[in-house]
Amino acid sequence: MPHNFLNRTRLLFYGIKDYYNIAVSYEKGVLVEKDIDTALIFYRRATQQGNVEASLKLGQLVEESGDVDEAVKAYLAGAVRANADAKTNLLRLAATGNVMAEYCVGFLFEHEQDWVESKKWYEKAAAKNYADAMYRLGLSYQENRRAKSGGAIVINKDISQELSWYKKAATMFSLDVVAELVSLSATES
């Protein structure tokens, strides 16, 4: 306890107050004893506050330690805030076939309003029985998202496709999907 208190006091004395810089200090052992676990705590806090550099660094450190799922989430946090390196790392993990990364890339492209790419990545994750991807595919059909490719509409409103994806997701016990399925079934009758 005293050691931790002295470290924080030293950081505050030098004006290092924000979570990202505290994390860097612990990661590198600057002004404090090097402590990767404490650095990760502060990188997580900085990521939660929207610091894109922290999300990239968090992703790199947890990926190195073998926690690919947390790395995917961290890279997504940076990528949706336009961090190109975080997006590159997320795409790299998705290309390895990691289902969570495939889903997150789909979400990222949806966020960027690239419906064609979004659908492609959601379909990859859905093919591996990832319920959230099935749900997002159902939503994409329900909301009639349109993407033009050479003048042709790529995603059309098609209630049979929508119901199909929702039913598949419902078999994976997604409560959000069950609610949508009940609602759609009522309108279909």
The H-assigned helical ranges of 67-114 are 68-79, 84-95, 99-111
Global pTM? 0.73
**Exposure on the CB side of residue 161, measured as CA atoms within 13 A:** 15
pLDDT tens profile 36-86: 999 999 999 999 988 999 999 999 999 999 999 999 999 999 999 999 999
pLDDT tens profile 139-170: 776 665 444 444 444 555 556 665 666 667 66
- Do residues 125 and 133 make contact, with C-beta atoms less than 8 angstroms apart? yes
**Helix, strand, coil tally for the chain in percent (to 5):** 70, 0, 25
Mean of pLDDT over the chain: 80
